A and B are shown apart, each in its own frame.
Chain A
């Protein structure tokens, strides 16, 4: 249980290379109740976890109740090939979004670079028995052996989870789809690629409405692309999209059919003192999320995460430095492509805490009320199941404490890009390269 990180590194450095590309988790999402957690990976697979029902007896702290176990696994997307452009289409799942539950079945949308699919996840725990014309195995009976008629009845059987594709929304996008977002109206959803945003009806697959198009007439005039987009959680006519220039645009679909003209634009003037070759890259917004209240926006760019008030366009109301010690290392990060990493950010259920990932298997949580941040680690060796997470620190100067990690010893291959926060409780799902960590706050399981 050494505090130093040397020995675990020696043991596991070779294991790191054994991660297969297909197993890398590319998206994590809770459903609206938090009972189901879906992850997508680069191999096009979706794994759904279900929370075990909590024990009413009160032994929750020690038992397995409240933990997530695998519920279903299915292959959502396959590698595809665009013959016209001679381009391979990756099967990597870019985003998963759950639909609000309307009946016993669960629905989720999953997307790769080009195609969005609607999947129905349903349980079957009974099966009919007592057919007249078929026997137990389903083989046709010889009619001469049938002497009496019986009515088939449903008998309990082992639980089976069936996942079926119900809709395939194809050919809607020329560029790579980066976001999907289900509308609060429960009928439509949007999908955004680099230059366009389309709105679909969940029941109609052969048409979509284009609601934003920022493709310039001449591609040489291209200066920015769309990086993320989301519907407002309460107002079905509002959505926001972020750009590679660091701006956010709020659009109102009531204003016009094509929302190229934004209703509000949120941008922060650039600090001229911080200008470098890479200023444009680090200002590109990688993720945008509405708060649960719908009043605030959370954005993530390479070095910071910001909270914006929808009522104030001239700048964010809060800015949190995620890993400012990397500011002097931008050139190396550019060389090893880390500067292009797209980190996600999430709100907690009461919008009082925000969370985002960083390198070295660290993730950061910021308490908005206290204005303070904490660094935590998602690494198997550092935390045994049910052990309390220790806070970590990156040493950037001053007094060095035991357990601090130096900036130069950060492992940039271990990055936490994808994460999710339970919609009601203090349960978080953190995806490292190919592992999923689920942390629960047993002390304060629910926010007051």
Chain B
């Protein structure tokens, strides 16, 4: 449990650093933000592994079914594995923490990591423009931020639901991996939830990250919190729109508004962070 508290604290600090780097003189330092995002990623993996370890206890029977789907999709994850190699060692750390759950959480972790490389692109791609001359400005602004965003995205997409939704996504490369992973996470999450499991699990990592920002918001004004949203900007809207697109596979439009409403509804059922998140 100490891992979880420590990881949570480190995540908050890291997000604070990324936020502060925006207002630093001299522009965003790519090196420092890359390192901070790596720490954020490690902390998040440990945090989520703890979380899922606890939930997994009730969901092992569902996982067995999901493994088949996982194996089928495993090949698609391989190209992304290079990007996620540095964090493969983290698996060892987080796995060690839950020896009883090695099979399930290990798989989940592996999934999560392989994702990160794929997911990292999500936020920044939404903002990337053509031409190298503009790229750096985007990169300078978004790349330190997008790895951080990608953590949140990764987590939420991990909890994503349908394999069907993968087909509806325009991006052919990313979603299969997302959903392959997402099945694992979803199964880990399903513990007697009355609401649609999809939305609940999707929301939780969102809540985790959102809570970090809210914690900072408590120290700052809420205006700063909304600034934080603006900073993570299209990353978050991408997050929400993607979630809504996948959770409501019948509706193909990515509407950030509906995604938000979705979040809020689910959050109310979840945990005490509800009122804080509603501020988003």
Residues of A within 8 A of B (CB): 82, 84-85, 87-90, 92, 113, 174-176, 178, 194-195, 218-225, 227, 244-245, 270, 272, 275, 277-281, 284, 331, 334-335, 337, 340
Contact = CB atoms under 8 A, between A and B. Distances in A.
Contact of A281 (B29, B35, B46): B35
Given A175-B140, A245-B86, A275-B92, A219 B29 contact: no
Most buried by A among B31, B90, B93, B121: B31
A7 B39 CA distance: 39
A270 B30 contact: no
A218 B124 contact: yes
B175 to A, nearest CB: 16
Contact of B26 (A90, A284, A335): A90
Interface stretch (B52-60, B61-69, B142-150): B142-150
Given A175-B136, A280-B86, 18 more contacts: A82-B27, A85-B137, A174-B140, A218-B121, A219-B135, A219-B138, A220-B123, A220-B147, A222-B143, A225-B34, A244-B35, A245-B86, A270-B89, A272-B92, A279-B89, A281-B38, A284-B35, A334-B39
Given A85-B136, A277-B10, A277-B43, A220 B120 contact: yes
Nearest to A193: B30
A175 B29 CA distance: 8
Contacts of A89: 26-27
A280 B39 contact: yes
B39 A281 contact: yes
Most buried by A among B93, B119, B140: B140
A219 B143 contact: yes
Nearest to A335: B13
A284 B33 CA distance: 13
B182 interface: no
Most buried by B among A222, A224, A284, A331: A222
B125 A220 contact: yes
B240 to A, nearest CB: 19
A231 to B, nearest CB: 21
A69 B33 CA distance: 40
B205 interface: no
Chain A interface, DSSP helix/strand/loop, else mixed:
loop
B229 interface: no
Contacts of A340: 32, 35
Contacts of B17: 337
Nearest to A221: B83
A18 to B, nearest CB: 20
Contact of B30 (A87, A220, A225, A275): A225
A194 B143 CA distance: 13
A220 B121 contact: yes
B139 interface: yes
Interface in B172-201: none
Contact of B140 (A87, A178, A223): A87
Most buried by A among B10, B34, B92: B34
Interface string B9-44: 010010001000000011101111011001100110
B30 A194 contact: yes
A272 B90 CA distance: 10
Interface of B: 6-7, 10, 13, 17, 25-27, 29-32, 34-35, 38-39, 42-43, 46, 83, 86, 89-90, 92-93, 117, 119-125, 128, 135-140, 142-143, 146-147, 150
Can you list the 6 inter-chain pairs with the closest CB atoms, starting with the nearest? A220-B120, A220-B121, A90-B26, A174-B136, A87-B27, A85-B137
B128 A219 contact: yes
A220 B10 contact: no
A219 B38 contact: no
A112 to B, nearest CB: 9
A88 B27 contact: yes
A222 to B, nearest CB: 6
A375 to B, nearest CB: 27
23 contacts: A84-B137, A87-B27, A89-B26, A113-B27, A174-B136, A174-B140, A175-B30, A194-B30, A218-B124, A219-B128, A219-B138, A219-B142, A220-B122, A221-B120, A222-B147, A227-B31, A244-B31, A275-B90, A278-B39, A331-B10, A337-B17, A340-B32, A340-B35
B118 to A, nearest CB: 8
B13 A195 contact: no
B38 A334 contact: no
Contacts of A176: 26-27, 29-31
B86 to A, nearest CB: 6
A356 B91 CA distance: 34
A334 B143 CA distance: 20
A176 B144 CA distance: 14
Contacts of B27: 82, 85, 87-89, 113, 176
Most buried by B among A280, A331, A335: A280
